[in-house]
Amino acid sequence: MNSKNGLSRRSFLKTAAVATAAVAAGPFSTLRSFAASREDELNILCWEGYNTENVLGPFRKAFKGVTVKAESGTDDPSMINKLRAGETKIWDLINVNQCWARDMLWPEKLIKPLNRARFEPYIEKMMKWFYSPETGINPFALSPDGKELLGMMQRFGPFSFVINTNKISATTAEDQGFPMFLDPALKGRYGILAYDNWNVMHLCITAGLNPFTQLNADQLAKFEETAEKVFEGAKMISSDLVQLNQALINGEIDLYFTGGTYTSSPARHEGRLEVLGISPKSGPIDGKGALQWFEITSLVNNPNLSPRAEDFLEFVQRPEICKAVAFAEGTYNPVSQMSNPEVFKLFSKEDLVAIQWDTLEEEMARSADYQICPNNDELTDIYNKVKRKRV
């Protein structure tokens, strides 16, 4: 859709036509025409799931004549860099993990606040991790001063590592946590899922470090030493969660480093319940050794924002669309709206088993929020240096 100027040919022709009409009709007509020019289009930058036909198809039927385009990213920083590079003129919505909206997109004025009166009634029906009468809205969805609503929360889940319970008991994995990847007895028996940003955080935990605090030189050295050991002991490294699940099921490996409901759920939904996401019971993040994520979808600070952007955010609150988002192609996850009985009843018993619903509350209690690491650049450089020795 993009030319080198970031505008499609179709958009260019529409803009030119609007400009011609505006000259003839005067300044007030200019504003009206310009604002109306994008009522029939919507562009979404997101993690996979929102870009599936199960979500976009019903939206197109509900809003006839609207052209919806969605592009999925591979990591949050890359998506944010698109906006920094000037693509705020292209996108209307951006869907990222929780920490990036409040701590980066908002301070850099890359997103706009939502209409609180329109969206808070939906948030007040969400699960307790996203809204409670006592503590209000999850602070990651609010501006630092608490005044502005930065986005709508939907998919979430624990994310630490995955085991084959036929080889390692869940109790052992939960008790030992990430340091078990340093056990010489497991050398050559595990894989690494190359989700680099997650691996940086999880390697910190493996080293006994809190990734969300400023690390000193000795701690960075400890991180590098740990990364070397974990990569040296890995039997396989892949960015394909299906390949790692298959290796787990075939007995090639007994566990893999970085994973959770998001990665284990496809195998579990096919009946391979020995594939299990693990949330360790303890660790260096204020006593927690597990992490969890949730996604926030925000309005891009597009100078000509499509009015369909907020319509889409409201549309995905519909029960059947909540289920479609939760069970998008490839991976399955809980959604914040599952506290609504109309949403929950759409999940079958098999669906709930796939997303480890029976242990979700316990695992969330063990998990710290995914945040931006203060030493992220240094840790990532070390991580990539170590990783290049293997791939």
State the SS3 of 129-153. CCEECCCEECHHHECCCCCCECCEE
Backbone angles phi, psi at 332, to 5 degrees: -130, 140
Tell me: pLDDT of 22 over 70: no
Q: Which two tokens stand for residue 297?
A: 């979808």
Helices (H) and strands (E) in the chain, counts: 17, 13
Task: Confirm if 336 and 152 have CB atoms less than 8 A apart.
Answer: no
CA 248 to chain centroid = 24
- The residues, ordered by sequence, that sit 6+ positions from 86 with a Cβ below 8 Å of its Cβ are 6
Average pLDDT on 30-54 reads 77
Q: How far apart are CA 242 and CA 163, in angstroms?
A: 14
Q: How far apart are CA 355 and CA 359, in angstroms?
A: 9
Region for residue 77 given its phi and psi (left: phi exceeds 0; alpha: psi -120 to 50; beta: otherwise): alpha
Average pLDDT on 117-144 reads 97
The helix/strand/coil state of 26 is: coil
Q: Hey, how many other C-beta atoms are within 10 angstroms of the C-beta on 365? A: 13
The burial of 97, by beta-carbon neighbours within 10 Å (0-12 exposed, 13-18 middle, 19 or more buried), is given as buried
Q: How confident is the model at residue 376 (pLDDT cuts 50, 70, 90)?
A: very high
Lowest mean pLDDT among 27-31, 112-116, 264-268, 284-288: 27-31
In the prediction, which pLDDT does 26 show? 38
Q: How confident is the model at residue 77 (pLDDT cuts 50, 70, 90)?
A: confident
Tell me: pLDDT of 366 over 50: yes
Looking at residue 287, what DSSP letter applies? Answer: B
Give the model confidence (pLDDT) of 140-173 as tens digits: 999 999 999 999 999 999 999 999 999 999 999 9
Average pLDDT on 246-258 reads 97
Tell me: pLDDT of 36 over 60: no
Q: How far apart are CA 19 and CA 33, in angstroms?
A: 9
Task: Confirm if 90 and 70 have CB atoms less than 8 A apart.
Answer: no
Q: Which residues pair with 240 in a beta bridge?
A: none
Tell me: pLDDT of 35 over 60: no
Answer yes or no: pTM beyond 0.75: yes
Q: Quick one: what percent of the chain has pLDDT higher than 90?
A: 84
Q: Which two tokens stand for residue 35?
A: 């604002």
Mean pLDDT over the full length of the chain? 90
Tell me: pLDDT of 66 over 90: yes
Expressed in angstroms, the distance from the first to the final Cα of the chain is 33
Q: How far apart are CA 111 and CA 109, in angstroms?
A: 6
- The residues, ordered by sequence, that sit 6+ positions from 5 with a Cβ below 8 Å of its Cβ are none
DSSP for 266-277 reads HHHHTT-TTEEE
In the prediction, which pLDDT does 139 show? 97
Query: Which alpha helices (DSSP H) does the chain contain, by range?
Result: 9-25, 27-36, 53-62, 76-84, 98-100, 116-123, 170-176, 196-206, 217-233, 241-250, 261-269, 308-315, 319-326, 341-344, 349-354, 360-366, 376-388
Q: Which one-letter amino acid corresponds to residue 195?
A: Y
The burial of 16, by beta-carbon neighbours within 10 Å (0-12 exposed, 13-18 middle, 19 or more buried), is given as exposed
Average pLDDT on 207-228 reads 98
Tell me: pLDDT of 2 over 90: no
Average pLDDT on 31-43 reads 69
In 3D, which of 28, 25, 290 has the Cα closest to residue 158?
Answer: 290
Tell me: pLDDT of 258 over 70: yes
